[in-house]
Amino acid sequence: MLNCDILISAEVIVTQNANRDILYQAALAVTGGTIAALGQRVDLEKEYQPKRVLKLGKSLLMPGLVNAHTHMPMTVMRGKADDLPLMDWLNGHIFPLERRLDPHIIQVGTELACAEMLRTGATAFCDMYLNESTIYRTADRIGLKALVGEGIFNFPTLGCENPADALPLARSRAEELRGNPRIRYSIAPHAVYTTTPELLAACAGLARELELPLQIHLAETRSETEQCLKLYGIRPLELACRAGILGPDTTIAHGVDLTEEEMDLLAESATVVAHNPRSNMKLASGAAPIARMLEKGVPLGLGTDGAASNNTLNMFAEMSACALLHKHVGQESTALPAQSVLDMATLGGARALHRPELGSLGIGGPADLTALDLASPNLLPLYSPVSHLVYAASGHEVILTMVDGNILYENGKFNSIDYPALLREVAEINVFMQKQN
């Protein structure tokens, strides 16, 4: 018999492989953080001698979800500034609150975000924020995978007091993370309205020099477009294109206000779009033309955005919102079928993080996975596993989340987070944040 670290069996395994195979009464073997075998349970039980057996019974095993765009520490602002227009929300409330953050608050907010994502089946995320070193060190300690980037602005921020230091800081952060198997760095200009064309071009140049991915908020609202036209005489996507921002190593968050020609440009350049439907709806930013982008072949991931504008980091909630929003907007019930949305939340997220090994379960791939309890009443009866994942699951059916073969969440227990201590720290920060205007 062959040895393995863990043998996991489940009623259903949704692989998200190239054929989108769904296995029943199946199992997978994990060795050294990777999937050594995947197939029928009876066969693998005869073939492997595991150190640990996980018989999950009436459950569904699937790849870990990949959050294509978020701002982890914003969990500490959840519910603090709601029901406001984007620019009022951002300039009148969020930016002032962020000036009051410190490394401890950012660490606690990140731990809380990690807990929420593990609890709801996410194993990797793409993050842009301030004091990003605290974020990625926290996530690395907990065990999640991430693409991270310090937000680059043309004004002082909590993470970079002198804007002239932003690119040297990015260079040093990238060097710190070089060779890290879980956390990778990106160049992250915040947006066209918080930078300059010259700064955008410099960011693109640094990304090419260091062979790093690039992420940016882009084409988020009509007001952003109007502001860009007023300042520069061109639309945001064209401004970004002229600066050298677009390309297969770039992820743009939102992509709401786009023309047909701009969507063609995104498809031709293989630029990835991270769609954030719940945040876009909550801030009334508009509905990104996702169905049209899908038709044109634009690479699409799915993200939550930060918990201050969503107000969750729950990718199951995001999948449901994505599917329903675009059926409603297009008045077409066949728009964004469940499989396309699940693809966005797994394989598309992997593209948004520029890590093609993520988002599916296959031999030789990383053992990044999550399992749901199929005995939950909202998941009964089971006709189509993919349909249930998008339309019926809430995320709180998750019973197991694993990254690189390490079980980080199991049946209410966080194995790499001191959750009682985290609760106490969150309560203290809550008191502090309530005093801030």
Same structural domain, 290 and 215: yes
Same domain, 15 and 162: no
Q: Considering 305, 334, 352, which residue would you say is the last residue of a domain?
A: 352
Residue 165 makes CB contacts below 8 A (sequence gap 6+) with none
Instruction: Give pLDDT tens digits for 372-411.
Output: 999 999 999 999 999 999 999 999 999 999 999 999 999 9
The answer as to whether 264 is a domain residue is yes
Kindly state whether residues 219 and 366 are assigned to the same domain.
no
Q: Please report, for the domain that includes residue 398, its CATH number.
A: 2.30.40.10
| Per-residue pLDDT, 377 | 98
At 437 the pLDDT is 62
Dump pLDDT digits (tens) for 288-328.
Answer: 999 999 999 999 999 999 999 999 999 999 999 999 999 99
Q: Do 279 and 392 reside in the same domain of the chain?
A: no
Task: Please state, in angstroms and rounded to a whole number, the distance separating the CA atoms of residues 363 and 118.
Answer: 23
98/211 same-domain check: yes
Provide long-range contacts, Cβ within 8 A and 24+ apart, for 48-52.
48/1, 48/2, 48/3, 48/4, 48/7, 49/1, 49/2, 49/3, 49/4, 50/3, 50/4, 50/5, 50/6, 50/7, 51/3, 51/4, 51/5, 51/6, 52/5, 52/6, 52/7
Same domain, 134 and 213: yes
Q: Are residues 225 and 255 in the same domain?
A: yes
Domain-embedded: residue 292? yes
- What does pTM read for this prediction? 0.97
Domain of residue 56, residue span: 2-63+358-414
In a domain, 421, yes or no: no
Q: Are residues 11 and 131 in the same domain?
A: no
Pair (302, 159) in one structural domain: yes
